[in-house]
Amino acid sequence: MAGREPTPKLSLERRVKGFEEIKGAYRPQQAVAEAARCLYCDDPPCNQGCPAGIDVLGFIQRLKTRNFSGAYRLIRRENPLGAICSRICPTEQLCEKECSSTELNEPIAIADLQRFVTDLELEKGIELPPKAKSSGKKVAIIGSGPAGLACASQLALLGHSPTIFEKERIPGGVLRNGIPEYRLPKRIVDRELDYLKRLGVEIKTNLEVKKIGPLFKKGFEAIFIAIGANEPVYMGIPGENLEGVYTAQEFLRRAKNNPKGLKIGRRVAVIGGGNVAMDSASTALRLRAREVAIIYRRTQKEMPAWREEIEEAREEGVWFSFLTLPTRFLGKRLEGMECIRMGLGKKDRSGRPRPVPIRGSEFTMPINTVILAIGQRSDPSFSKMNPGLEIDRAGLVIVKKKTQATSLKGVFAGGDIVSGGATVVEAIGEGKRAAVAIDKYLKKQG
């Protein structure tokens, strides 16, 4: 068993340049062969590595015996967004990192196996799992990103009536309005949303919740805040309001929903060093920019983006200008960018060396589109409108770890509005944890 050759990992296949999804899904015999490499550990570390709580070993065992429907039922029980996670989870840092097969050979390609299983489920049509008897209790969920969706799905299974309030026209949060189409197609998110609606989750769009108090008056007995932290951050330098300067949030949303209507120049600079910057750069290439550069003020070593994302962007033709800081955007409509070279000083609060400008090193770069991808933050107006909701210095909601309970009675929170920006699967884990705590809370209320 230990000597079996791993089935090639599909996610490592080179990407194509276009908005169509990165090609490749296992064929049944490939999936079964890959599942057969599993060592079936007694205390499977892969299970511990999944924040959504999927029984990874369990679904791989079912795959090995060709019990495909058993495998997808098992995944769906724990994760209502399994097909989404199989495409965008950083599994190499989670379940696959923990996989015991790594010591012998390659880790089992868990994401590719999960994609095989969940795609098969989508093809066959998602079955509704059994639900608990109706409790008649209404729960309000603010925000329809992965945290809100996971919480709503668990609450519906537990017999409660969840209603999601979403300020945007299209629900799904970053899944539907941020993550590029070639990594996560809209049709996959829509299929999972459709399942949630069939499960009994009501989703009200174009409805921004500003104050939570009135929701209790409307008969909701508990509230889950899942508003994310997706407000843009600006550099505060001259020229940021010029035509041709986008925030990554606006750029990615428009590229996802109406790429033909998004006109960009031939030379594009993306400012920032995180995953959102990599997504923006790869998207700009797909919109036919001739040159796309990532401008980052430190070196590659300090970049927060995942290594795979950096390598993939580089392979696609994105180039990198390290130790560079823009100081001014130039022109009536953006024509160029003034920058300064940086050196690295002592470590700052983030534990990374502080970038220090090198005097006299200013230079100009000709560009016609800039995408600002220097971070995102929470919406400060929400906590201002809801006094008593305890937040930290960064404006993130403070919760009890085990229950996701906030400082307000009956109010819970999870996802990026608590973490400040993590992953989809972590948001799902927090949404599920909150649902369990809300269920207990509602039962206590009688």
Ligand X SMILES: Cc1cc2nc3c(=O)[nH]c(=O)nc-3n(C[C@H](O)[C@H](O)[C@H](O)COP(=O)(O)OP(=O)(O)OC[C@H]3O[C@@H](n4cnc5c(N)ncnc54)[C@H](O)[C@@H]3O)c2cc1C
Look up residue 437 and give its two tokens. 């705590």
Q: Contact with ligand X (CB under 6 A): which of 32, 427, 435, 437?
A: 427
SS3 content of the chain, % helix, strand, coil (to 5): 40, 20, 45
Q: Contact with ligand X (CB under 6 A): which of 143, 162, 185, 273?
A: 143
- Of the pair 112, 279, the CB lying nearest ligand X is at 279
Amino acid occupying residue 73: R
Answer whether 64's CB lies under 8 Å from 18's CB: no
- Contacts (Cβ under 8 Å, ≥6 apart) of 365: 269, 293, 336, 337, 338, 339
Of 234, 309, 247, the closest CA to residue 279 belongs to: 309
Which class for 231: exposed (0-12), middle (13-18), buried (19 or more C-beta within 10 A)? middle
Residues 388-417 that bind ligand X (CB under 6 A): 415-417
Q: Is 162 in the site for ligand X (CB under 6 A)?
A: no
Q: Contact with ligand X (CB under 6 A): which of 51, 82, 148, 375?
A: 148
Q: Contact with ligand X (CB under 6 A): which of 188, 209, 281, 438?
A: 209
Q: Contact with ligand X (CB under 6 A): which of 279, 429, 434, 437?
A: 279
Q: Contact with ligand X (CB under 6 A): which of 141, 289, 424, 438?
A: 424
Residues 372-391 that bind ligand X (CB under 6 A): 379, 382
Answer whether 40's CB lies under 8 Å from 65's CB: no
- Of the pair 127, 315, the CB lying nearest ligand X is at 315
Of 371, 164, 390, the closest CA to residue 280 belongs to: 371
Q: How far is the CB of 430 from ligand X (least distance, A)?
A: 8
Q: Which stretch binds ligand X (CB under 6 A): 67-75, 142-150, 333-341, 356-364?
A: 142-150
Q: Which stretch binds ligand X (CB under 6 A): 108-116, 271-279, 285-293, 434-442?
A: 271-279
Q: Which stretch binds ligand X (CB under 6 A): 55-63, 70-78, 120-128, 143-151?
A: 143-151
Residues 281, 268: Cα–Cα separation, whole Å: 8
Q: Is 174 in the site for ligand X (CB under 6 A)?
A: yes
Q: How far is the CB of 231 from ligand X (least distance, A)?
A: 9
- Of the pair 63, 405, the CB lying nearest ligand X is at 405
Instruction: Please provide the DSSP assignment of 11-51 as one string.
Output: GGSPPPSSSSPPP----HHHHHHHHTT----SS-HHHHT-T
Q: How far is the CB of 382 from ligand X (least distance, A)?
A: 6
Q: Is 226 in the site for ligand X (CB under 6 A)?
A: yes
Handedness of CA 228, 234, 235, 240 (dihedral sign): positive
Of 20, 404, 416, the closest CA to residue 249 belongs to: 416
What is the radius of gyration, based on Cα positions, of the chain?
Answer: 23
Using CA atoms, how far residue 83 sits from 164, 180, 181, 339, 425, in Å, is 21, 16, 14, 42, 12
Q: Contact with ligand X (CB under 6 A): which of 272, 322, 423, 433?
A: 423
Q: Which stretch binds ligand X (CB under 6 A): 22-30, 114-122, 164-172, 437-445?
A: 164-172
Q: Contact with ligand X (CB under 6 A): which of 91, 114, 144, 282?
A: 144
Q: Is 273 in the site for ligand X (CB under 6 A)?
A: no
Of 163, 121, 192, the closest CA to residue 424 belongs to: 192
| Strand 267-271, strand 369-372: pairing | parallel
- Of the pair 38, 227, the CB lying nearest ligand X is at 227
Q: Contact with ligand X (CB under 6 A): which of 39, 242, 422, 436?
A: 422
Q: How far is the CB of 288 from ligand X (least distance, A)?
A: 20
Q: Contact with ligand X (CB under 6 A): which of 46, 108, 151, 276?
A: 276
- Of the pair 55, 308, the CB lying nearest ligand X is at 308
Q: Is 255 in the site for ligand X (CB under 6 A)?
A: no
Using CA atoms, how far residue 428 sits from 35, 50, 60, 147, 217, in Å, is 25, 10, 21, 5, 28
Residue numbers of the site for ligand X (CB under 6 A)? Answer: 88-89, 142-148, 165-168, 173-174, 178-179, 208-209, 226-228, 230, 252, 275-276, 279, 379, 382, 415-417, 421-425, 427
